[in-house]
A and B are shown apart, each in its own frame.
Chain A
Amino acid sequence: MQQPRKTASESTHSTPAFDTDDTTHTACTAESTTDLLTVEGLRVQFPSPDEPVRAVDGVSFGIADGEIVGLVGESGCGKSVTARSIIGLDPPEAAVRGSIELDGTDVTAASERQLRRLRGDTVSMVFQNSMETLNPVLDIGEQIAESTKVHDHPDSQRLLDYLHAPLFSSRADWHERREHAADLLDQVGIASPEERVDDYPHELSGGQIQRVAIALALASDPDLLIADEPTTAVDATTQAQLLDRFRHLNDTRGMALLLITHDLSVVAELCDRVVVMYAGQVVETGPAGRVLRDPSHPYTRALLDCLPQRVDRNERLPTIEGAVPDPTDDRSGCPFAPRCERATDDCRHGDVPTIDLGDGRGTATCYDVDDSRPAAPYNRPGITVTAASDESDPTREPTPAAETPAAETPSSESTARSSTREKTRPESTADGDREPLVELEGVTKQYATANGLIDRLFGATATRRAVADVDLEIRAGETLGLVGETGCGKTTLAELVTGLETPTAGEIRFGGDPVGGVESRSAETLADVGVVFQNPRSSLNPRLTVEQLVAEPLRSRGWSTDRRRERVRTVLDRVGLSEHRARSYPHELSGGQVQRVAIARAITPDPTLVVLDEPVSALDVSIQARILNLLSKLQAEFGLTYLLISHDLAVVEHVVDRVAVMSRGELVEIGPVDRGFDQPTHPYTKTLLASIPSLSPEETAGVRPSASDGVSSSLDRPTR
């Protein structure tokens, strides 16, 4: 059932992906008729000590019955605030203006009773971070049963009934509702729902929790489901199943869906229509196919250009220069004007008109909409918006990767790299048969799952193999990608390489010499491995300044203050942080800047190997592009070897030379990225690849694994 997936280079150069007609999106063009939801001029402001924060600044759009609309934008653009306003969940201090007409009721002016009826009947919401959206002290069945009860009797909710107080509540009624809850769990693809009904949220895996959150939202049989980043926290196969589930619900129940996401490939996969937001404003709307294929607003164009899928492998990604405007500023003109190279004086002042593109192609809030521009596929791999100056990199030339097999590309580059290095590196040979830098042989890591002294005394020896008998080579100068589902052991494997964990069995060698855990490693070996941990913000001590953080590895090696300062200055410059940032604390920096600090800290002791654990997963698309560019630049400059862990296969495909696929602690496939992605041999790799949403919906139609697919659903197992 799987087809080999196209490589990034193919899909960028080949046009068919985007130029199929709009017949699949005809439903979306009925924008003006009987809308289920109409948002008109919505403004939401939050008070702050200085100026109010304009989170949403004049947003208008509509959703028709049964339509799937994507609300797209980067973090802080106001998409989540818009969604919360629709369901009437703005914090009390927020000032909400404009109108939100939902099924004939204005939400902004609705009474508490009207809101309850809307929430119990018309609209449901699946919140971001579903792990935290379920009540930890109530079981799943109870939480779903409540929803159905509210739906049936929105106006007679008695506290004692809901607390199951005897005499005030009917046990039979609640029991019946729990049975119905099991049906709902079954509908969202949860195995053995009768048992899961009695589970508490902490007993379920991340994928199951997300499904439960959806079941909870469906319990009231809504006409509109709002889903805020429903697939961001789950891995590729679960994401594919959830998207499939949404499509199915839309088909069978005719339920409209407002999907809030920063992931454009999810939009391509699912949405009829898309609304693009930037800095609290809508910049473009239109059929999903049209917007992705032929974006009209410069911001949409720039955003699409940043996607690694659309750029040739090993080529630097286009970025968007500048930063999102301060939401407290008094605004006039187009919010994107300061970052737009085509901006004119008109764009910077006054109201920018929203132009109807005609023929049901949607709208764009921009002067520069060229109606005469042919609806040709948007196909410029070059840089649309000027590259950020700190990212420019003369040492690395774009390689014609489309024509060159990737296995050869890095080796031809590594000759150039070695010249920039003072430290001696293993010499690379032209035929790509490079010496391994790190070797893992039969590495196994077991954890005892029996907890407590008493269990151990009585000989309970339950163990779990996080990493099972892995043989792996990391070659000098390469980027090795490590992919797999949550809990497959990839992070543990990285911890074994860095020495944070010691293997239960097997051997790890650096340059031929066996090494143990961090305690037994020499200062030299320790300095040779840099780590960028997942979630940089929590991996940096909040009480140290950037300079202290970056210099810390040097301090423990006994460098003098002056030498340290000099080195920190050099490294910060290399990662593109200006010198005055040295005195900042992590909380004063943006997500991208914090990630730069984490990278700077990893490369300060001049390592050979850098382990990157999900280096871009928490970042917006445009920031992600900048960090990926930075990583390739540093690699070329310092001759670094990367071990990159990621669940984002588009990222992996863009930057790595070889890819290693892990499943349940075992290494199931390893090979050059071309082979791994184009001709996967292991069935698990095939499943993984098939589940990546493509930017072109037509390409993958019918290829994704469905929820009933045996291979993929067996992976969605509880964590304990």
Chain B
Amino acid sequence: MDDATYLLHRLGTSIIVLLGVSVVTYGLLFLTPGDPAEVILTQQLDRQPSAAEIESFRATHGMDDPIPVQYVNWVTDVLRGDLGTSYYSDTAVSTLIVDALPLTIELAVASLLVALAIAIPTGVLSAVHRGSAIDYASQLGALVGVSMPNFWLGYLLILVFALTLGFLPVAGAGSYGQLVLPAITLGTGMAAVLTRLIRSSMLEVLDEAYVDTARSKGLRKRIVLYKHALRNALVPVVTILGVQLGSLLNGAVVVEIVFQRPGLGMLLVDAVFERNYPVVQGITLVTAGIFVGTNVLVDLSYRYLDPRVELGGETA
């Protein structure tokens, strides 16, 4: 299968996935108890709204139609590039997302870098020194890293580095300094998973005959490990990276609240509490789109990592 055919194929399946996601979230939102019109008006007016006020709110936001009709209308709008309008501020949902997204992407990329910077050397070292103190220490570290909740680590870091030592700002967004603690908070959990994965993948690769060949050439150990072995070991790791993106976005919600970063996560949480359904749906759709797109990229990257891979599933 060539690249164009493959991408076309993946595009087709991606659209089906996104449609599925939108149906499910739409359905779930309308199953949640409470009338959104009443909740929203109560907050806006700061009093119990009258029946007439609720009636008019429902009419202007198209809430009188049956749910399937509302869904179809929404999808039609989305296809035209219109994600709807926030119930509160009359701002377009797309504008809200475009404002918040860069902060979240920045956080995700920084956390990924932190995770890889920790996981690659630690994973390789513990594979090379299997059964040694280094190995056990790294495994223990990984266990702690996996078990530690993000919000707890976040507050702990704030307490130590921002409040006690004063090295870094407590919260907010905009400067690189403000990115450090959130990235570490989010990156460590991911690093823990990746370390164990790289370790086991490397252990497998180190037994391969081509590692012996590389050593028998007279190559330095470091080159044997990081050029010959690691590249082979990374193939399964990249697969997991694609899947881990989901938990990264999950984690971003918590971390953004802890560090008061006005990113996508924070926007989502606010919207959920406010029953701001157009915003919730828009964010869900965009997030799902990012997830699907990243996984296509992951699949494409296999071919650069492993020339034996043929797109479309068949290996030579």
Residues on A close to B: CB < 8 A?
87, 89, 112, 115-121, 124-125, 127-129, 132-139, 146-147, 150-151, 154, 157, 159, 162-163, 200, 202-203, 213, 216, 220, 451-452, 454-455, 720
Given the complex of chains A and B, what is the CA–CA distance between A119 and B223 in angstroms?
Answer: 15
User: Which one, B213, B226, B231, B314, contacts A452 given CB within 8 A?
Assistant: B314
Q: How far is the CA of A452 from the CA of B2 in the complex (A)?
A: 11
User: Is residue B214 within 8 Å, beta carbon to beta carbon, of the partner chain?
Assistant: yes
Contact assessment for B214 and A135 in the assembled complex, using a CB-CB cutoff below 8 Å:
yes
User: In the complex, A89→B211 CA distance in Å?
Assistant: 11
Q: In chain A, what residue has the closest Cβ to B235?
A: A137
Docked-complex contact A89 and B232, CB < 8 angstroms: no
Within 8 A of A (CB), among B190-211: 208-210
A226's nearest neighbour on chain B, judged by CB, is B216
- Tell me whether B316 is interfacial, beta carbon within 8 Å: yes
Q: What would 9 more interface pairs be, CB under 8 Å, given A135-B210, A137-B307?
A: A115-B218, A124-B216, A146-B217, A162-B219, A162-B223, A200-B308, A202-B307, A202-B316, A454-B5
In the complex the two chains form, is B215's CB within 8 Å of A89's CB?
yes
Q: Which of B208, B220, B226 has the most CB of A within 10 A?
A: B220
Known contacts A89-B212, A216-B213; is A157 also within 8 Å of B306 by CB? Answer: no
User: Are the CB atoms of B220 and A116 closer together than 8 Å?
Assistant: yes
Query: Total A-B pairs in contact (CB under 8 Å)?
Result: 98
CA distance A115 to B224 in the complex (A): 14
Query: How many angstroms between the C-alpha atoms of A162 and B223 in the bound complex?
Result: 7
**Is there contact, CB below 8 Å, between A137 and B314?**
no
Write out the residue numbers on chain A whose beta carbons fall within 8 Å of the beta carbon of B232. 135-137
A138 CB, min distance to chain B CBs, angstroms: 7
| Contact across chains for A150 and B219 when beta carbons are under 8 A apart | yes
**Interface 0/1 of B270-312, CB less than 8 Å to A:** 0000000000000000000000000000000000011110101
**B227, CB-defined interface residue at 8 Å:** yes
A200 to B310, CA, bound (A): 13
Which of B219, B310, B312 lies at the interface centre, i.e. has the most chain A CB atoms within 10 A of its CB?
A: B219
Is there contact, CB below 8 Å, between B218 and A117? yes
**Which residues of B lie under 8 Å from residue A120 when comparing CB positions?**
217-218
Quote the shortest CB–CB distance from B10 to chain A (angstroms): 13
A220 to B312, CA, bound (A): 40
Which residues of chain A have C-beta atoms less than 8 A from B58's C-beta? none
Interface size on B, residues (CB 8 A): 30
B221 touches A136 (CB 8 A): no
Nearest residue (CB) in A for B312 is A452
Given A136-B232, A163-B227, A454-B1: A116 and B213 within 8 A (CB)?
no
Q: How far is the CA of A154 from the CA of B217 in the complex (A)?
A: 10
Residue of A nearest to B226 (CB): A159
Top 5 closest A-B pairs, CB basis? A120-B218, A119-B218, A132-B209, A135-B210, A200-B307
A-B contacts, 14 listed (Cβ < 8 Å): A89-B212, A116-B219, A120-B218, A135-B228, A137-B231, A138-B231, A139-B307, A146-B217, A147-B218, A159-B222, A159-B226, A452-B1, A452-B312, A720-B316
Which residues of A have CB within 8 Å of B231? 137-138
Q: B residues within 8 A CB of A128? A: 209
Taking CB atoms, residues of chain A closer than 8 Å to B314 are 451-452
Q: Which residues of A contact B227 (CB under 8 A)?
A: 159, 162-163
Query: Do B210 and A132 touch (CB < 8 A)?
Result: yes
Does B307 lie within 8 Å of A136, measured CB to CB?
yes
Q: Chain B nearest CB: distance from A162 CB in Å?
A: 5
**A139→B314 CA distance, assembly (Å):** 20
Nearest Cβ on chain B to A128's Cβ, whole angstroms: 8
Determine the chain A residues whose CB is within 8 A of the CB of B212 once the complex forms.
89, 127, 133
Distance A117 CA – B209 CA, assembled complex (angstroms) = 21
A162 and B214 CA atoms in complex are apart in Å by 12
Chain A residues within 8 Å of B307, by CB:
136-137, 139, 200, 202
Q: Quick one: which of A125, A154, A163 contacts B216, CB cutoff 8 A?
A: A125
Question: A-facing mask of B219-252, CB < 8 A → 1, else 0?
Answer: 1111100111001100000000000000000000
Are A134 and B213 neighbours in the complex by a CB distance under 8 Å?
A: yes
Complex Cα gap A216–B213 (Å): 9
| CB atoms of B218 and A118 under 8 A apart | yes
Residues of A within 8 A of B316 (CB): 202-203, 720
Residue of A118, A133, A455 near B213 (CB, 8 A) is A133
| Chain B residues in 8 Å Cβ range of A87 | 216
Give the docked Cα–Cα distance between A139 and B306 (Å): 11
The CA-CA distance from A139 to B232 in the complex, in Å, is 13
Q: How far does the Cβ of B50 sit from chain A's closest Cβ, in whole Å?
A: 61
| Residues on the A chain within 8 Å of B305, using CB | 137
Residues on the B chain within 8 Å of A115, using CB: 218
With A116-B218, A120-B218, A157-B219 given, is the CB distance from A135 to B308 under 8 Å? Answer: no
- Contact A119 B215, CB 8 Å, known A137-B306, A720-B316: yes
Q: Nearest Cβ distance between residue B127 and chain A, in whole angstroms?
A: 13
Most chain B CB inside 10 Å of its own CB: which residue of A117, A120, A213: A120
> In the assembled complex, which residues on chain B have CB atoms less than 8 Å from the CB atom of A129?
209
Q: Min CB distance, A544 to chain B, in Å?
A: 27
Bound-complex Cα distance A203 to B308 (A): 9
Whole-angstrom distance between the Cβ of A359 and the nearest chain B Cβ: 37
Residues of B close to A157: CB separation below 8 A: 219-220, 223
Cβ contact within 8 Å between A163 and B218: no
Q: How far is the CB of B219 from chain A (nearest CB, A)?
A: 6
- Which residues in B have their C-beta under 8 angstroms from that of A135? 210, 213-214, 228, 232
Residues of chain A with a CB closer than 8 A to B306's CB? 136-137
Contact among A134, A159, A454 with B210 in the assembled complex (CB-CB below 8 Å): A134
Across the two chains, which residue of chain A brings its CB closest to B216? A125
Q: Check A127–B209 contact: CB distance below 8 A.
A: yes
* Complex Cα–Cα for A455 and B209 (A): 36
**Across-interface contacts of A137 in B (CB, < 8 A):** 231-232, 305-307
Residue ID in chain A nearest B304 by CB atoms: A137
**CB-nearest residue of chain B relative to A115?**
B218
Q: Give the one of A121, A159, A720 with max B CB within 10 A.
A: A159
Q: How far is it, in angstroms, between the C-alpha of A128 and the C-alpha of B212 when the chains are bound?
A: 11
Shortest Cβ distance from A165 into chain B, in angstroms? 11
Chain B residues 23 to 51 lying within 8 A of chain A, measured CB to CB, are: none
- A124 partner residues in chain B, CB cutoff 8 A: 216-217
Q: Is the CB of A121 within 8 A of B226?
A: no
Distance, CA A132 to CA B205, complexed state (A): 11
Q: Contact check: which of A134, A136, A220 meets B218 at CB < 8 Å? A: A220
Q: How far is the CB of B134 from chain A (nearest CB, A)?
A: 14
Contact B218 A121 (CB under 8 A): yes
CB neighbours (8 Å) of A132 from chain B are 208-210
Assess whether B308 is in contact with A133, with CB atoms less than 8 Å apart. Answer: no
From A135, A150, A213, A720, residue with most partner B Cβ within 10 Å: A135
The distance in angstroms between the C-alpha atoms of A240 and B305, with both chains bound, is 36
| A150 near B210: Cβ-Cβ < 8 Å | no
Q: CB-CB contacts of B57-101 with A at 8 A, as 1s and 0s? A: 000000000000000000000000000000000000000000000
Q: Which residue of B lies closest to A162 (CB)?
A: B223
Please measure, in the bound complex, the distance between the C-alpha atom of A62 and the C-alpha atom of B247, giving whole angstroms. Answer: 61
C-alpha spacing A515/B217, complex, angstroms = 55
User: CB-CB < 8 A to B208: which residues of A?
Assistant: 132
Question: Taking the nearest CB of chain A, how far is it from the CB of B196, in angstroms?
Answer: 22
**Contact partners of A213 in chain B: CB under 8 A:** 213
Q: Is the CB of B210 within 8 A of A133?
A: yes
A138 vs B310: C-alpha distance in the bound complex, in angstroms? 16
Whole-angstrom CA separation of A513 from B1 in the bound complex: 43
What CA separation (Å) do A127 and B212 show in the bound complex? Answer: 9
In the complex, what residues of A have CB within 8 A of residue B312's CB? 451-452
Complex CA distance for A134 and B231, rounded to whole angstroms = 14
| Chain B, residue nearest A132 (CB) | B209
Q: From known contacts A150-B218, A150-B219, A202-B307, infer whether A138 and B228 are also in contact, taking CB-CB under 8 Å.
A: yes
Nearest Cβ on chain A to B141's Cβ, whole angstroms: 24
Given the complex of chains A and B, what is the CA–CA distance between A64 and B223 in angstroms? 33
Q: In the complex, which residue of chain B has the Cβ closest to the Cβ of A118?
A: B218
| Chain A proximity of B111: nearest CB distance (Å) | 24
CA distance A121 to B216 in the complex (A): 11
Which residue of chain A has the shortest Cβ distance to B231 in the bound complex? A137
With A and B bound together, what is the CA distance between A151 and B222 in angstroms?
17
